[in-house]
Copies of this chain bind each other. A is one copy, B any other.
Amino acid sequence: MKRFNTSPISGMQELLPPQQAVFNQIKNQIETIYHLHGFQSIETPIIDRTSILLAKAGGDTEKQIYKVIKTEESADDADQALRFDHTVPLARYVIEHENDLAFPFKVTQIGRNFRGERAQKGRFREFYQCDIDILGRDTLPIAYDAEVITTLYEALQIFNLPEMRIRISNRKILTGLLAALNLQDFSADIFSIIDHAEKVPPETTREHLENLNLSPDIVDKITTFMQISGSREEVINQLQNLGIENEIFATGLSELSKVLEILVQNGLGEIAIADMLIVRGLDYYTGTVFETFLTNHRHIGSICGGGRYDNLTGFFSDHKFPGVGGSIGLTRLFYVLNENNLLNSQIINPVDYAIIPMSENEYKAAYNLTSKLRGQGKTADIILTDKKLGDKLNYAGKIAKYAIVVGEDEATSGNFTVKDLQTREQFDLAL
């Protein structure tokens, strides 16, 4: 009888060992690809100052952040909370360690973040994010935006996913368009309407725009703009045809064009498309923004996104560190791929060999064998319970791929038979 509720708190992922092994393998593969691309690992504390974490937050973040109660012993410290993403602590880290870092600083952070969202199937309150970011001192060439997108694309390859599209825009284009149309005052509203446009019917989006008291002509212009998507040439053409004369618009167009040019050169010509519906919710983005979708599984939502943030550190310091970054939300992605039978990794027993001594007389020979296998890089467990052989083999079948029984004969001869616990085949062990 249970005396306590022993389930994890709702919204927390807790995996069994075989699932955890696959999850960790994916996490390590992503990290390896980030490293190959020259990103260096750091870890920021999970607990940080609330004043830092909420400096540029607001809205949902402030409602969802986990505040921490200072303990009796740590009463001297500032108000504390759990980080809700990797980007804000990174901004603090860069300011704090500015003199010890080389810029552009290419950095990866893989770890758990925390948001106390309302419990909901497939949403997590504690979740792994696999981030990469590049921060420059004073300036950061636009080519780095393409480097971030290329690296994330390479990392997503490990999932063997079906057809995907990386949809890219640049917030300067919409900002410039609204300035040219004298709609700066409606900027936040229009960004939000476009951000939600794919979740409602087109009539609703039109209605939302009309509710801002915009003229039908202006509403037409915005809805036309929103529909622009396609290859670099197509989109650049269509945007130029809008006849907008505005410097920010022109800068955004040129940046988008440059990013797409490099992506085509990097072999992402079929994958990366320009799409004016992409704006991203977070306030700190200032230029390039992107989201990644599986073409035939749109209900899964974006599996990877990010963008350029030129002013984030401006809240903490006068020094400028323009940055660009992106993230794979691994906990959620692992969950949805599993739910949709898209997780191609085989979920198998994590241990290679279970070594089963028949009795205590064979412990020494069994230990020797186990040690040899481990020396060859094989994971090996020696079973030391005093159960019957059948029970031990049953146990082995739950944790390992292969079993080796060590009886008197095997201990004497040093010849062992390996049993494949899945196929039931047997073969001689070659050490």
Contacts and interface: CB of A to CB of B under 8 A. Distances in A.
Interface string A1-36: 111111111111111110011001000000000011
Nearest to A376: B36
A118 interface: yes
A351 to B, nearest CB: 5
A384 B194 CA distance: 33
Interface stretch (A47-55, A229-237, A339-347): A47-55
Contact of A63 (B21, B51, B72): B72
A335 to B, nearest CB: 14
Contact of A114 (B24, B47, B114): B47
Interface stretch (A74-82, A285-293, A406-414): A74-82
Copies of this chain present? 2
A7 to B, nearest CB: 6
A227 B380 CA distance: 39
Interface stretch (A90-98, A159-167, A248-256, A273-281): A90-98
A202 interface: no
Given A17-B40, A382-B38, A8 B48 contact: yes
Interface in A384-407: 384-386, 395, 398-400
Chain B CB within 10 A, most for which of A5, A55, A118, A384: A384
A243 interface: no
Contact of A35 (B13, B74, B379, B382): B379
Given A16-B97, A35-B379, A40 B77 contact: no
A425 to B, nearest CB: 22
A363 B3 CA distance: 65
Given A11-B74, A51-B4, A367-B265, A126 B46 contact: yes
A19 B9 CA distance: 35
A71 interface: yes
A212 interface: no
Given A80-B9, A384-B144, A118 B74 contact: yes
A43 B15 contact: yes
Contact of A116 (B63, B70, B266): B70
Contact of A37 (B20, B116, B380): B380
A102 B396 CA distance: 9
Interface string A112-131: 10101111000001100000
Sorted nearest first, the 10 A-B pairs with minimum C-beta distance are A38-B381, A71-B116, A102-B398, A12-B45, A17-B40, A143-B384, A74-B116, A6-B96, A67-B69, A36-B374
Interface of A: 1-17, 20-21, 24, 35-38, 40-49, 51-52, 55, 63-74, 76-78, 80, 82, 92-93, 95-97, 100-104, 106-107, 112, 114, 116-119, 125-126, 136, 139, 141, 143-144, 147, 265-266, 315-318, 350-351, 354, 363-364, 367, 374, 377-386, 395, 398-400
6 contacts: A3-B317, A8-B96, A12-B45, A45-B126, A64-B71, A71-B116
